[in-house]
Amino acid sequence: DVKVTQSSRYLVKRTGEKVFLECVQDMDHENMFWYRQDPGLGLRLIYFSYDVKMKEKGDIPEGYSVSREKKERFSLILESASTSQTSMYLCASTPWGSIAGNTIYFGEGSWLTVV
Amino acid sequence: QQQVKQSPQSLIVQKGGISIINCAYENTAFDYFPWYQQFPGKGPALLIAIRPDVSEKKEGRFTISFNKSAKQFSLHIMDSQPGDSATYFCAARPGAGSYQLTFGKGTKLSVIP
C-alpha cells in the first residue's frame, strides 16, 4: 500500500520558533509537494521538489523554506513561526511521467498551531 | 492568476438525494480535471477525473459532467449516503507536463439520514 507519512500530526509552537515538518514517502516518487489547507481557501501550494536538492516555489512560499536531501524525504521549514501560519499542512508525492493528479498521494496532514 | 472557482462552500443533502458541486475555470490550457474527497483527519484522495474531450464520466454513484464551451464541470453524487459526508475539491492541471494542480476552495458535504 502506498504511503506518505507526516510524522508530526499535531504541533503547538510559539511565535518565533523554528518549525520543521517532515514528510516521508515509500513509493520512490520523484515529485514531492507541500500544501497548506485553510477553511474556505482550499489547498495552496507552498513548494514542490522534482528531484533531490531541487525545489520550486509554489503560490505562497513566503515565510517557508524546504529541504530535500534524500529522495524519500521532503521537509518544510518555518524559520520563524507566526500566528498566521497556524494551519493544516499536507505533503504529497507523485512519480515522474504521471498525469498530475492521477497518481498523486497525500499524507494525512500536520496540524500546526502557533501561539 | 489561474483559478478554479468552486461552489457551494457547503451542502446539506438528504440521504438518497443527489449532491451537485460545481466548478468553473478561465484558463483554456487546463487539460485534466480531477475531483478529490477528503474525510476529517485524512488527506485528500482521488475520487474521479475527466479530460476535456469527454462530456461525462461515471464511476458508480459518482459522475463528472464537463461543459468545455462554458468552462464548467460538476460532480454529481447519486443516491447520496451519510458515508459520503466529506469535503470535496475540484482541481485542474495547467497543461501536459505540469505536476502542479490548481484546486478549488472545497465543498463540505453533509448527508443527513
- Domains of chain B, by residue range, sit at 4-112
What amino acid occupies position B55? S
What confidence category does residue A101 fall into, taking pLDDT thresholds of 50, 70 and 90? low
In the block, cell 500536520 appears at: A110
> If you average pLDDT over residues A81-98, what whole number do you get?
90
* B4-112: CATH number: 2.60.40.10
Residues facing A58 on adjacent strands: none
B→A contacts (Cβ < 8 Å), by residue, are 6, 9, 32, 34, 41-46, 49, 89, 91, 93, 98-101, 103-106
Residues facing A87 on adjacent strands: A112
Interchain contact, A42 vs B34, CB within 8 Å:
no
In this structure, of A45-59, A73-87, B4-18, B95-109, the range with the lowest mean pLDDT score is B95-109
What pairing do the DSSP bridges indicate for beta strands B62-67 and B10-14? Answer: unpaired
The residues near A86 (Cβ < 8 Å, ≥ 6 apart) are: A112, A113, A114
Superfamily of domain A4-114: Immunoglobulins (2.60.40.10)
Sketch the domain layout of chain A as residue ranges: 4-114
Secondary structure (3-state) at B3: coil
> Average pLDDT, whole number, for chain A?
92
> If you average pLDDT over residues B29-50, what whole number do you get?
92
